[in-house]
Amino acid sequence: MEKIIDKFKSAIEQNNFFKQIETPDTYNSLGTTWEISKEIGSGFYWMYAQKNLFDIKIHDFFFYEDSFMEFNMPECLSITEYFSISGEELKPYRRLNAGCIKTFVGGYEPYRVLIHKNIPVRSIGIEIMPDFYEKFLKEQYPNQYTHPLEAFQAIDQIYEFPQMQKLFFELKNYKENNGLSSHLYYESKVNECVSLVLDYANELKTEKLNPLAADDISSLNDVVDYINDHYAFDIPLKRLANIALMGTTKLKKSFKQYKGCTITEYIQARRMAQAEHLIIETDLNINQIAKTVGYSTSSRFATLFKNSTGLLPNEYRKISKK
């Protein structure tokens, strides 16, 4: 049986972007490390894999030019936290944001992504394999077993998941190599991760027991269209409620159920996407860009931009134009 590390080695190296090296001191020596080709970028990809059950991965690299990548990922359920990134997933299309946790189901279609030049990709994630979620879990807990696929799909992309963020922080900073105890530590964190995903999905399921009515979905689409046209302006919640023909409380709850984020988070994501474009493609100063996308002060804009990309606006402009 092909080992998990060999499955991912093929995916990682198929574009000749990375080559395997000896693991540097900045990462746990229990893992395997790849270095990005010096001709196209700088940085590392680290992975700890346990048989055919799971892996833990850390990304810290950037490309010198905008880079399109397509990976034939093995079948897996993945969850990742991004600390810094700029780019787009291409199928389905979705902007990549820092400060969020995303899930991905591998093994069905190639993963296609465009990564913007010079912006660091910094992330940590966990991938569990079929031998873990279809065999190991089922054998260990036959009476309570639930396939975790729907739970991972339910999360999709979220910004508030403090328990998972704490887990990833602990994993990212774990450098011990104490033999069996370190292997057990990683195993326990993967089990904790899956438990958190299942719990979170159960909470979402409870919230979605009452599906949105067709008329409400149509009204919410009107709200989304209005925001897309007016995101750079102050938009009173009452105005959106009037457009949706809903009370403000129902609108907030229904919007989050429909889009998976709050109205404020959606507006900020639209503003940050436009801000990235203006920073790279224009000579407007940061204060002008802040006002253009809807912020009265550059300091507030800078804080939110760093939350979105992992970099301050001036840092983003500097490294994107190298």
Domain boundary among 207, 240, 260: 207
Which residue type occupies 240?
Answer: L
CATH number at residue 291: 1.10.10.60
Cβ(87)–Cβ(97) under 8 Å? no
Give the domain extent around 146: 4-207
Domain boundary among 161, 189, 207: 207
By the 10 Å C-beta count (0-12 exposed, 13-18 middle, 19+ buried), 276 is classed as buried
Residues 32 and 123 in one domain: yes
Residues 186 and 41 in one domain: yes
Written as six digits, the tokens of 6 are 């060999």
Residues 289 and 267 in one domain: yes
Residues 60 and 172 in one domain: yes
Q: What is the pTM of this model?
A: 0.80
Domain boundary among 207, 232, 266: 207
- What pLDDT score does 207 carry? 63
What's the structural domain count of the chain?
2
Query: What is the pLDDT tens value at each position of the chain, 322 positions in all?
Result: 446 566 656 656 666 678 899 999 999 999 999 999 899 999 999 999 998 999 999 999 999 999 888 878 889 999 999 999 989 988 878 888 888 899 999 888 888 999 999 999 999 999 999 999 999 999 999 999 989 999 999 888 888 899 999 999 999 999 999 889 999 999 999 999 999 999 998 887 766 657 889 999 999 999 999 999 999 999 999 999 999 999 999 999 999 888 888 999 999 999 999 999 999 889 999 999 999 999 999 999 999 999 888 899 999 999 887 6
Residues 98 and 140 in one domain: yes
Residues 238 and 310 in one domain: yes
Residues 164 and 288 in one domain: no
Residues 71 and 154 in one domain: yes
Cβ(21)–Cβ(38) under 8 Å? no
Residues 103 and 243 in one domain: no
- What pLDDT score does 7 carry? 60
First to last CA, the chain: 45
Residues 186 and 91 in one domain: yes
Residues 164 and 69 in one domain: yes
Cβ(305)–Cβ(292) under 8 Å? no
CATH number at residue 190: 2.60.120.10
Residues 74 and 171 in one domain: yes
Give the total residue count for the chain: 322
